[in-house]
Amino acid sequence: MKILSINAGSSSLKFSLFNMDDESVIANGVFERIGIDGSCYTIKFKSEKITQEVDLPTHLEAVNILLEKLLALGIIENLYEIHGVGHRIVQGKDIFKESVVVNDEVMTKLESIKDFAPLHNPANMLGIEAFKKALPDAVQVAVFDTAFHQTMDEEAYLYAVPYKWYEQYGIRKYGAHGTSHRYIALQVKKLLGTSEYRLISCHIGNGGSITAIKDGKCVDTSMGFTPLAGIMMGSRSGDIDPSIIPCVMEQEGKNAGEVIDDLNRRSGLMGLSEFSSDMRDVLAKCSENDKRCIVAKNKYVRRIVDYIAQYYVLLGGADAIVFTAGVGENNALIRKEICQKLECLGVKIDDEINNDSNRTKKISTSSSKIAVYVIPTDEELMIARDTLNLINR
């Protein structure tokens, strides 16, 4: 059975086509700059990679071209081969505790909560609508970033603010990257050979979140009401004193939305280094003894360590720490510096293994009190699995 996993952004559409008989990727790619001049697409299949500029006024054109190319390139013989389409939805609030088949009622609920993720959910919904038109016989499934975190208890997800803010406005911690953390939890269950374990999952990319997981369920997570909270990220500040916002508004004559935009787009590594939001660029400058970049890198490491230490105490210890996503999977130096600061917890890593090119590996030594792994995440596969399960239900 063939299933598409879709991640639709405001001006992009990423896809992976899976053969679910063996969970292999048949083709993947991205449509970029939708609704913007210079739009184009890239499709990868077998050993080929095709990139072409094309006019993409809306997501519907991107979807139609994608399906046309899948047929024209012989990747599929007909559209009926695609039995389901799974869609990444960033925010499901506390309405959606698991993935669901999309129907009119689901779309109405998604419309009602779109303002909780204004940069993401409307775009995700555009992707659903486009595929409903293009593949009316395929099952459409919504997979929520927030669903995995619905197992948090009130002490974890409530803020110490007037309770009516939660009751009336839905102000609470929702988290993000849940599909990634869920995938990592399943992989660790296999690696440890038990369903009883304490895991600290570190999804560290341009965005990042740390999640405390006990026996496969989320206990707490670093992102909050929005993905702005938690650790320091590429361009996001992470946790700050909220009194900073009115202070900057007064000093710079900005409104609240403009300051929040600064915290989302011009803070984090970018803000402290005043150079780049990409860790690779920052580390290159660190090697040149650039003081701002050194401070930015050190602060980035420190905030991750803060959350790992916090969750170690919350879980009453840890059986495993996992690094995943762009920085977590690919940056040996950042992993090493984080683990060095965790030596007081008994963490010891093998530098040679940490530095080798294998993407999936155990980097802790035999004497380490906590197993430390690098595991590439696969959110697209999780979306496809959920879609298949709902088709077969």
Return the active site residues. 145
The reply to whether 131 and 232 lie within a common domain is no
CB-CB contact of 243 with 177 (8 Å): no
C-alpha closest to that of 269 among 302, 306, 242, 232: 232
The reply to whether 64 and 209 lie within a common domain is no
| Measured distance CA(307)–CA(211) in Å, rounded | 9
- Is pLDDT above 90 for 13? no
Report if residue 168 sits inside a domain: no
pLDDT score at 209? 96
Helix (H, G, I), strand (E, B) or coil at 8: strand
pLDDT digits (tens, 9 = 90+) for 137-180: 999 999 999 999 999 999 999 999 999 999 999 999 999 999 99
pLDDT score at 113? 87
pLDDT score at 121? 84
- Overall number of domains in the chain: 2
pLDDT score at 36? 85
The reply to whether 113 and 252 lie within a common domain is no
Least reliable range by pLDDT among 45-49, 210-214, 293-297: 45-49
**Residue 130 confidence class, pLDDT cut points 50, 70, 90:** confident
Domain that holds residue 124: 2-144
The reply to whether 140 and 201 lie within a common domain is no
**How large is the average pLDDT for residues 62-79?**
93
- Is pLDDT above 90 for 124? no
Report if residue 339 sits inside a domain: yes
Which CATH number goes with the domain that contains 82? 3.30.420.40
Q: In the 8-state DSSP scheme, what is residue 115? A: G
pLDDT score at 216? 97
- Is pLDDT above 90 for 90? no
Report if residue 120 sits inside a domain: yes
Which residue type is seen at 54? V
CB-CB contact of 92 with 145 (8 Å): yes
C-alpha closest to that of 218 among 193, 185, 173: 185
The reply to whether 255 and 371 lie within a common domain is yes
CB-CB contact of 376 with 324 (8 Å): yes
Give the chain's largest Cα–Cα span.
61
Report if residue 73 sits inside a domain: yes
Which residue type is seen at 125? M
The reply to whether 85 and 197 lie within a common domain is no
pLDDT score at 97? 93
**Residue 114 confidence class, pLDDT cut points 50, 70, 90:** confident
**How large is the average pLDDT for residues 98-112?**
94
Report if residue 90 sits inside a domain: yes
The reply to whether 349 and 229 lie within a common domain is yes
pLDDT digits (tens, 9 = 90+) for 245-291: 999 999 999 999 999 999 998 999 999 999 999 999 999 999 999 99
Q: What is the mean pLDDT of the chain?
A: 94
From the number of C-beta atoms within 10 Å of its C-beta (0-12, 13-18, 19+), residue 382 rates as buried
- Is pLDDT above 90 for 70? yes
| Measured distance CA(235)–CA(272) in Å, rounded | 9
pLDDT score at 229? 94
pLDDT score at 300? 98
Rg (CA), the chain: 21
Report if residue 162 sits inside a domain: no
Counting residues of the chain whose pLDDT is more than 70, the rounded percentage is 99
Report if residue 176 sits inside a domain: no
pTM: 0.92
Higher pLDDT, 342 or 128: 342
Report if residue 156 sits inside a domain: no
- Is pLDDT above 80 for 7? yes
The reply to whether 139 and 231 lie within a common domain is no
The reply to whether 225 and 350 lie within a common domain is yes
The reply to whether 198 and 327 lie within a common domain is yes
- Is pLDDT above 90 for 198? yes
The reply to whether 11 and 110 lie within a common domain is yes
Residue with tokens 């690779």: 280
pLDDT score at 75? 95
**Residue 212 confidence class, pLDDT cut points 50, 70, 90:** very high
C-alpha closest to that of 281 among 242, 234, 325: 234
